[in-house]
Amino acid sequence: EMKVFKDGVDIFKDEMRVFKDGVEIFKDEMSDFKDEMKVFKDEAREINRDMNRKWGEMANKLGTITEDLVAPSLPRIIKEEFDLEVSDLIVRRKKKLKDGRVKEYDTIAIGGGYIFVSSAKSSLKNADADKFVHDIKEFREFFPEFSDYKLIGVLASLYVDEGFVKHAEKKGFMVLSVGDQLMEVKNTKGFKPKEW
């Protein structure tokens, strides 16, 4: 009986050794798994950072694409709509006042006693038209040299829906968007923009 007991203890010891070896192998595998997960997380973080950077670049490019379409189209549109020649075209004009306020206007076109100030965005919402009223009202504070000019506000985008056009017209703004030509006027036929 003692031999059976001793054999049982030896078997138990062997099983415990096998179990202990299994636990060690499991711990090693878990350590390897944790290392692989850390590498995976680091790679995922890097991919996420790279994607965010690319999205940011694309968003910036979308904003400048709209501006890049508006500036060359504005003289043609002003000629067609107002029969005026643009004598000066200023793109992305930023000005800082002595009180520290800074304002940037996307495109400023000057001709025939008029000044056309445009704001271009990849998409426009009614709130953008509402904010632009404020920007237009401040324009002469930033550019007093144009105080004798009639001021026309122009909102431009890659696409505008009819609801936005109606809202912008109530505010007195011309609306431009991509059409058959690079940019075209989207206002209702016969609409006269407000002279500020």
- Give pLDDT tens digits along the chain (196 positions): 777 777 777 787 888 888 788 888 888 888 888 888 888 888 888 887 777 677 656 655 665 665 677 888 899 999 999 999 999 999 889 999 999 999 999 999 999 999 999 998 878 899 999 999 999 999 999 999 999 999 999 999 888 889 999 999 999 999 998 766 667 788 888 999 988 8
Between CA 83 and CA 78 the distance in angstroms is 7
C-alpha distances in Å from residue 166, one per residue of 76, 163, 174: 23, 5, 10
